[in-house]
């Protein structure tokens, strides 16, 4: 028997064995923003569900007990913006390595972007992806589907058909803005009719910059390239409000975009939400990597003024979600101009170290942005430790000190701006559907 086949059967046996047993998490400090509960309690897990949350739960000798003394117990993290690169770009990342990286970082659910090769732009492609997820992933994985075929802003996908698939949680052309106004307006109307979120990338892209040279219908804004996030965001907010739909703006990076979103929320016509990445919250365009370069991502790292505005937006509630935009690349791809960072294994640690421990936001507020809010916005059955909910749980040692080492990542990607940072706070245990995937800081499968 081939080693890979042996490992697969071993994993299946391991999961089935766990499923038969109950888990009891003892002595931890429970933080559940969904219910508002915060305090010491035990959690009993049975048949993949949370059976009880109470003090001093007792169980028989067959129950596995996890000691969470001096640790925090939280609903599993949910990332609504990741790139697992499969199908077609598995040399950068695949479903197996991406899901392992997610579990290591405390994530129990992610939503993948559709810019694979080929793109996720048809029900058949969603079916293909779903089959691979079922075979390879150790966590819950959903996907976004393209707004336009091939993410090229030339023809809408079959939005009605795509929204019927349970795996599809939103529509997005990811790295490309929809640069045909008429198509974006129609997409917003159709998404409202079919009750699904539009989640656009509101910034220039290489494809967009090339297309506007030859396409008379392409949206054009004045100014330098990669400065049009706010312009695209305002346009997409306008179309969403006209359709009375739902819009979730990906990885905002500018204070002016934040102001436009705040104004839209105050009007309360469409349902407008947004996300920010850890790197846009913590870094600005003065940041230099170990080689003295400003690492490339899209949207780019912005000014310190923009970064500070985003931090204020986090505190005052304008920013709903923190998402990583986990984007693995090889060194060769980076040298050729690829943009983006990996972030699943560092997000919680850098945010605890840089925002929670200094007192900028509370731990409970952070978990709301990283679990409860994305569950609510994208209608995912998670983000809560209430009885009867799926047993998707992370246990965090918020005082665990560690140093980021990209060479120890589960992800294939090494393009992380936080390499070498000394952090305080790390996930010790990740439980998904009642199965212990990460135990004592190590992947178990």
Give the full edge-to-edge strand order of the sheet including 168-171.
Answer: 77-82, 107-112, 140-145, 168-171, 197-198, 246-249, 271-276, 321-322
Cα gap 239→236, rounded to integer Å: 5
Cα gap 118→53, rounded to integer Å: 44
The answer to whether the beta carbons of residues 351 and 46 sit under 8 Å apart is no
Report residue 178 CA to chain centroid gap: 21
Most distant CA atoms of the chain, gap in Å? 72
Domain 3-73+391-443 - what CATH class? mainly beta
CATH, range 76-377: 3.20.20.140
In order along its 445 residues, the chain shows pLDDT tens digits of 444 554 554 454 444 444 446 999 999 999 999 999 999 999 999 999 999 999 989 888 889 999 999 999 999 999 999 999 999 999 999 999 999 999 999 999 999 999 999 999 999 999 999 999 999 999 999 999 999 999 999 999 999 999 999 999 999 999 999 999 999 999 999 999 999 999 999 999 999 998 888 877 778 899 999 999 999 999 999 999 999 999 999 999 999 999 999 999 999 999 999 999 999 999 999 999 888 888 999 999 999 999 999 999 999 999 999 999 999 999 999 999 999 999 999 999 999 999 999 999 999 999 999 999 999 999 999 999 999 999 999 999 999 999 999 999 999 999 999 999 999 999 999 999 999 999 999 999 7
Question: Quick one: CA dihedral 109, 111, 117, 120, positive or negative?
Answer: positive
Cα gap 173→151, rounded to integer Å: 5
Provide CB contacts within 8 A for 388, sequence distance 6+.
49, 50
Q: What angle do CA 175, 178, 182 make, to 5 degrees?
A: 175
The DSSP secondary-structure symbol of 76 reads P
Cα gap 180→203, rounded to integer Å: 14
31 vs 212, 386, 393, 445, CA distance in Å?
A: 49, 11, 11, 27
Task: Outline where 137-203 has alpha helix (H).
Answer: 159-162, 181-193
User: Per the omega criterion (within 30 degrees of 0), is the bond before 430 cis?
Assistant: no
- Ranges of beta strands (E only) in 327-392 are none
Beta bridge partners of residue 251, listed in sequence order:
none
What is the model's pLDDT at position 4? 57
Within the chain, how many helices (H) and strands (E) appear? 14, 17
What is the model's pLDDT at position 213? 82
The answer to whether the beta carbons of residues 238 and 202 sit under 8 Å apart is no
What is the model's pLDDT at position 415? 97
SS3 category, 441? coil
- Please spell the DSSP secondary structure of 231-264, one letter per residue: HHHHHHHHHHHHHT-EEEE-S---HHHHHHHHHH
- Sequence ranges of the domains in the chain: 3-73+391-443, 76-377
Provide CB contacts within 8 A for 307, sequence distance 6+.
280, 281, 282, 283, 284
Strand 37-46 relative to strand 168-171: parallel, antiparallel, unpaired?
A: unpaired
What is the model's pLDDT at position 366? 98
The answer to whether the beta carbons of residues 79 and 344 sit under 8 Å apart is yes
What is the model's pLDDT at position 8? 52
Question: Quick one: CA dihedral 381, 386, 392, 396, positive or negative?
Answer: positive
The answer to whether the beta carbons of residues 412 and 400 sit under 8 Å apart is no
The answer to whether the beta carbons of residues 120 and 114 sit under 8 Å apart is yes
What is the model's pLDDT at position 5? 55
Cα gap 76→385, rounded to integer Å: 9
Active site residues per annotation? 325
């Amino acid at each position: 028997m081939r080693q890979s086949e042996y490992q697969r059967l071993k994993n299946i046996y391991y999961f089935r064995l766990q499923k038969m047993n109950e888990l009891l998490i003892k002595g931890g400090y429970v933080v559940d923003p969904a219910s508002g509960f915060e305090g010491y309690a035990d959690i009993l897990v049975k048949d993949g569900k949370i059976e009880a949350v109470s003090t001093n739960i007792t169980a028989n000798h067959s129950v596995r007990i996890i000691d969470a003394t001096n640790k925090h117990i939280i609903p599993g993290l949910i990332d609504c913006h990741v790139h697992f690169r499969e199908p077609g770009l598995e040399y950068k990342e695949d479903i197996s390595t991406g899901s392992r990286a997610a579990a290591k970082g405390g994530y129990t659910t992610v939503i993948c972007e559709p810019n694979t090769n080929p793109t996720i732009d048809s029900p058949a492609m969603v079916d293909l992806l779903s089959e691979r997820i079922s075979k390879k992933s150790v966590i819950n994985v959903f996907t976004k589907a393209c707004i336009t075929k091939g993410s090229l802003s030339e023809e809408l996908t079959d939005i009605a058909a795509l929204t019927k698939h349970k795996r599809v949680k939103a529509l997005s052309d990811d790295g490309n803005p929809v640069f045909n106004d008429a198509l974006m307006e129609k997409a917003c109307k159709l998404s409202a009719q079919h009750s699904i979120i539009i989640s656009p990338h509101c910034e220039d892209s290489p494809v967009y910059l090339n297309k506007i040279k030859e396409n008379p219908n392409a949206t054009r804004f004045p100014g330098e390239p990669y400065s049009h996030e706010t312009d695209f965001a305002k346009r997409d907010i306008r179309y969403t409000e006209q359709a009375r739909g739902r819009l979730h703006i990906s990885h905002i990076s500018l204070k002016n975009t934040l102001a436009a979103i705040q104004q839209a929320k105050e009007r309360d016509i469409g349902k407008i939400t947004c996300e920010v990445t850890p790197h846009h919250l913590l870094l600005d365009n003065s940041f230099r990597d170990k080689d003295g370069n400003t690492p490339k991502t899209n949207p780019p790292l912005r000014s310190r003024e923009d970064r500070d505005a985003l931090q204020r937006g986090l505190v005052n509630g304008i920013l709903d979600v923190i998402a990583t935009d986990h984007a693995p690349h090889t060194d060769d791809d980076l040298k050729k101009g690829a943009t983006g960072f990996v972030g699943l294994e560092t997000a919680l640690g850098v945010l605890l170290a840089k925002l929670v421990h200094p007192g900028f936001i509370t731990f409970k507020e952070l978990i709301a942005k990283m679990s409860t809010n994305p569950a609510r916005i994208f209608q995912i059955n998670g983000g809560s430790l209430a009885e009867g909910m799926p047993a998707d749980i992370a246990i965090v040692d918020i005082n665990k000190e560690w140093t980021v080492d990209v060479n120890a990542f589960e992800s294939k990607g090494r393009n992380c701006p936080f390499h070498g940072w000394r952090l305080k706070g790390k996930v010790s245990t990740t439980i998904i559907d009642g199965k212990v995937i990460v135990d004592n800081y190590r992947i178990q499968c």
